[in-house]
Amino acid sequence: MQTALREKMSLSGRLSVVTGGAKGLGFAMGEALAEAGSAVVVCDIDAEAGTAAAEAICSRHGVDARFVAVDVTSERGVSDAVREIEDGAGPIDVLVNNAGIVLHGALTDSTYEQWRKVMSVNLDGVFLMSREVGRRMVSRGSGSIVNISSMSGMIANVPQAQASYNASKAGVIMLTKSAAVEWAGSGVRVNSIAPGYMKTALTEPFFDAGGDQIETWMRMTPMGRPGTPDELGAAAVFLASEASSFMTGSILNIDGGYTAV
């Protein structure tokens, strides 16, 4: 039984692509996929950080890891990047759509430019990458796409105002379900991880400083703490692997219980 489970969780011989993979949650999930045996392509708009991330994954886990630059908001850029990946590393077996941004601000004070900036990365980027990679997966009859949404796609966060982010992540959740249903008969699975408040290298100073906003977040999180990037890794491997072979269109909340209350 243990051997069978280990085989199902293995990603040996697979190729995984992680957008926004240079830092934070993306890098942590890239490491987890590599630890499970997958070759990894780090996709990011930051070439210096992305190259360093790929080198670190290769060094630590002994798998083929490389960096490919991509702006997920560019239709041509996404098409070119996916072609470069498959020409250089082979067919993509796993796609993790992780690239994302957040802008805080009252809805009444938000500009259309700010709204479009968030939507273009968080939702349009997931659409463009999923469509480009999904076409290839469907034609081959296999593949797993893992979209990183957020608990913010299901609730309205307080006390901060972030309507554009919340709306974009709700869109990712529905895109996940829609693609899952469309591709269910073709051997391609599409699921989503919905993280809660996470303590990354970027947000660590904010959490460590504390204050009313952090206290509110932690009071509303039953586990009373933020998550850490490594706590998403096993979920990414599970959704990418055959261990979740009967799972598609699902949203996996990893939020310390926030959405349970």
Please give the pLDDT value at position 2: 54
Q: What is the DSSP letter of 36?
A: T
Q: Render pLDDT for 55-76 as a digit per residue (tens, 0 to 9).
A: 999 999 999 999 999 999 999 9
* Whole-angstrom distance, CA of residue 54 vs CA of residue 51: 5
* Whole-angstrom distance, CA of residue 191 vs CA of residue 145: 6
* 93: number of Cβ within 10 Å: 21
Please give the pLDDT value at position 68: 98
- Catalytic residues, by residue number, are 165
Return the structure tokens found at 6: 């280990």
* Whole-angstrom distance, CA of residue 256 vs CA of residue 219: 11
- Spell out the domains of the chain, with CATH numbers in brackets: 2-254 (3.40.50.720)
Return the structure tokens found at 251: 């949203």
Please give the pLDDT value at position 160: 97
Please give the pLDDT value at position 1: 44
Q: What is the DSSP letter of 259?
A: G
Please give the pLDDT value at position 234: 96
Residues in the chain where the model's pLDDT stays below 50: 1
Q: Render pLDDT for 98-146 as a digit per residue (tens, 0 to 9).
A: 999 999 999 999 999 999 999 999 999 999 999 999 999 999 999 999 9
Bridge pairing between strands 65-69 and 94-97: unpaired
Residue 49 exposed, middle or buried by CB count within 10 Å (0-12, 13-18, 19+):
middle
* Whole-angstrom distance, CA of residue 236 vs CA of residue 28: 10
